[in-house]
């Protein structure tokens, strides 16, 4: 036999049939447990009927699978990729350039599959099927054209999905941000706009739409997501020549000086005393400890809420915590991976936190994705009860440490090592190992404590 006869059966002396079991997950949809189709009373007759019957069964199975799996419309490129996979699973080569529909078994089978798909639709006066679904249109194109059926151009929707898969992953914050940015973008440009068709004028229209009712600083962040998404798509889809009309697209208002410098303020000592008193007298025990560690280290709140027991080292010459990426806590940048020294009350707060925790996470109520946001909201209520100025927030504890190091004249590289900011220049190369960097961070933090006159004498007496 020249064709695949996997489901061909002989019954008795002269009866042939097509028999194929239905997968369990499709039985409810297809309303049957197996396909059984008579093929004729001779082997030759069965072989002639086989391609048509097999094509019909394959199409029924494909349709049932689509009904279970499809949750949103595919882009043209996705339909092309799905159709290529389907055609390959049917036993055809989607890259074939030519075949004979009269004598070639593959050609005969392709023709039978094409006829089966077309019979599902009504025809026009010339006998051509009309209102063919996009999915079946793509199948027909690849079955009939082979290698001549070129892939469609990648679209914005393709770029979004690829960026979500490769870059964003399961990071909830970044997923929400990407959805927000893409929604704004597609209010101007359809999601199925080919990437290579986007013009500079359209990019400006997207920017202007985003600026409607939003700060320039927010729009700048949104456009950074758009740029990264399109650049990633250009690479992954091998678009040549690659272009990104959103590159170097200015947001003029973002250059005004009042956007970042005054976005948040550090606590004044009077404000800090008021909030500290309220938190330590009214907050939950774990929030009290989180506040004390934030105040003492200048860490980001997620860096504290995401601490594991193994991240706290109290027995060495310099007590410290380790800030690093793990499944319950995402780190903002590579520079954020660091050792942060513990001085004064921070050592006692860390010890108390360890004594209250039995599991891996030091703060189990907040040691999860989004836990930092929850802790920030809870502490923020105490801040707002004491301070009306909305530029003073829980994050102002970090700004306070930064401000104190600036006033104390701490070198830039040591400030960055302490706070986990991106390194710059080249002088920081002298801090090329963790112990050295920990000593430098402790020196910076100690200078900040002295500047605020908050460090206990016992801690000041510790050797530098």
Of 67, 83, 82, 71, nearest to 31 by C-alpha is 67
* 242 occurs within a structural domain: yes
Round to whole Å and give the CA distance between 366 and 304: 9
CATH (domain of 177)? 1.10.150
Residue that finishes a domain, picked among 108, 124, 148: 148
Mean pLDDT (whole number) for 251-263:
53
Residues 397, 295: contact at Cβ < 8 Å?
Answer: yes
Mean pLDDT (whole number) for 348-362:
92
Residue that finishes a domain, picked among 148, 167, 185: 148
131 DSSP 8-state letter: S
Of 271, 273, 266, nearest to 400 by C-alpha is 266
Whether residues 118 and 177 fall in one domain: no
Candidate from 3-17, 43-57, 306-320, 376-390 with smallest mean pLDDT: 3-17
Long-range contacts of 28-35 (CB under 8 A, 24+ apart): 29/64, 29/67, 29/68, 30/60, 30/61, 30/64, 35/7, 35/60
Round to whole Å and give the CA distance between 39 and 46: 5
Whether residues 301 and 251 fall in one domain: no
Pairing status of strand 34-40 against strand 15-21: antiparallel
Whether residues 308 and 442 fall in one domain: yes
Whether residues 239 and 104 fall in one domain: no
* 362 occurs within a structural domain: yes
* 109 occurs within a structural domain: yes
Mean pLDDT (whole number) for 19-45:
88
Average predicted confidence (pLDDT) for the chain: 85
H or E segment and range at residue 132:
none
Whether residues 302 and 447 fall in one domain: yes
H or E segment and range at residue 252:
none
Q: Where in the sequence is the domain holding 339, given as residue range(s)? A: 269-460
Residue that finishes a domain, picked among 123, 148, 173: 148
Give the SS3 label for residue 336: helix
- pLDDT-derived band at 261, boundaries 50, 70, 90: very low
Q: Dmax of the chain from CA atoms?
A: 102
Backbone angles phi, psi at 21, to 5 degrees: -75, 150
Mean pLDDT (whole number) for 300-329:
88
Round to whole Å and give the CA distance between 221 and 397: 24
Per-residue pLDDT tens for 170-219?
A: 877 888 899 999 999 999 999 999 999 999 999 999 999 999 888 888 89
Whether residues 277 and 244 fall in one domain: no
Whether residues 249 and 178 fall in one domain: yes
* 292 occurs within a structural domain: yes
Highest-scoring range by mean pLDDT, 246-260, 332-346, 359-373, 420-434: 359-373
Whether residues 441 and 304 fall in one domain: yes
Reading the block at residue 404, the tokens are 């104190």
* 261 occurs within a structural domain: no
Indicate the number of domains in the chain.
3
CATH (domain of 407)? 1.10.443.10
| Beta-carbon-side half-sphere exposure of residue 425 (alpha carbons within 13 Å) | 11
* 1 occurs within a structural domain: no
- Whether the per-residue pLDDT at 258 is higher than 70: the answer is no
Whether residues 374 and 353 fall in one domain: yes
Whether residues 161 and 273 fall in one domain: no
Pick the residue with more confidence: 159 or 327?
159
Beta-carbon count within 10 A of 41 CB? 13
* 228 occurs within a structural domain: yes
Whether residues 280 and 407 fall in one domain: yes
Whether residues 60 and 128 fall in one domain: yes
Per-residue pLDDT tens for 60-119?
A: 888 787 666 554 557 889 888 888 888 888 888 888 777 766 667 777 888 888 888 888
Round to whole Å and give the CA distance between 154 and 131: 24
pTM exceeding the 0.85 threshold for the entire prediction: no
* 247 occurs within a structural domain: yes
- Whether the per-residue pLDDT at 356 is higher than 80: the answer is yes
Pick the residue with more confidence: 386 or 459?
386
Mean pLDDT (whole number) for 401-413:
93
């Amino acid at each position: 036999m020249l064709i695949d006869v996997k489901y061909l059966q002989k019954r008795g002396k002269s009866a042939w049939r097509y028999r194929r079991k239905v997968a369990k997950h499709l039985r409810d949809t297809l309303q049957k447990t197996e396909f059984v189709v008579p093929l004729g009373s001779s082997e030759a007759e069965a072989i002639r009927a086989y391609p048509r019957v097999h094509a019909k069964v394959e199409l029924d199975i494909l349709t049932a699978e689509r009904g279970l799996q499809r949750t949103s419309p595919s882009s043209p490129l996705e339909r092309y990729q799905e159709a290529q996979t389907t055609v390959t699973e049917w036993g055809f080569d989607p890259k074939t350039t030519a075949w004979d529909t009269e004598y070639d078994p593959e050609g005969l089978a392709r023709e039978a599959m094409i006829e089966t798909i077309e019979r599902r639709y009504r025809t026009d006066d010339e006998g051509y099927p009309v209102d063919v679904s996009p999915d079946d249109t793509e199948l027909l194109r690849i079955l009939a054209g082979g290698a001549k059926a070129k892939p469609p151009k990648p679209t914005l929707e393709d770029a979004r999905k690829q960026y979500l898969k490769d870059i964003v992953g399961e990071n909830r914050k970044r997923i929400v941000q990407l959805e927000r940015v893409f929604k704004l973008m597609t209010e101007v440009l359809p999601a199925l706009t080919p990437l290579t068709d986007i013009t500079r004028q359209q990019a400006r229209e997207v920017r202007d739409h985003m600026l409607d009712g939003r700060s320039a600083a927010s729009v700048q962040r949104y456009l950074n997501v758009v740029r990264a998404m399109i650049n990633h798509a250009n690479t992954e889809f091998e678009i040549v020549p690659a272009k990104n009309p959103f590159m170097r697209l200015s947001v003029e208002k973002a250059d005004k000086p009042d956007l970042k410098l005054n976005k948040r303020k550090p606590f004044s000592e009077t404000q800090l005393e008021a909030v500290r008193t309220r938190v330590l007298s009214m907050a939950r025990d774990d929030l009290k400890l989180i506040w004390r560690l934030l105040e003492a280290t200048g860490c980001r709140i997620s860096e504290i809420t995401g601490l594991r027991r193994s991240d706290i080292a109290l027995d060495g010459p310099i007590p410290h915590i380790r800030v690093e990426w793990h499944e319950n806590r995402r780190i903002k940048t590579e520079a954020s991976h660091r050792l942060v020294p513990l001085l004064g009350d921070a050592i006692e707060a860390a010890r108390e936190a360890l004594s209250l925790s039995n599991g891996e996470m030091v703060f189990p109520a907040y040691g999860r994705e989004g836990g930092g946001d929850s802790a920030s909201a809870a502490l923020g209520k105490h801040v707002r009860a004491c301070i009306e100025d909305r530029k003073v927030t829980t994050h102002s504890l970090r700004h306070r440490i930064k401000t104190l190091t600036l006033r104390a004249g701490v070198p830039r590289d040591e400030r960055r090592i302490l706070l986990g900011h991106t390194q710059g220049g080249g002088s920081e190369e002298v801090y090329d190992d963790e112990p050295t960097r920990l000593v430098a961070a402790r020196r910076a933090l100690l200078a900040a404590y002295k500047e605020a006159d908050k460090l206990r004498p016992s801690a000041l007496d510790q050797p530098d």
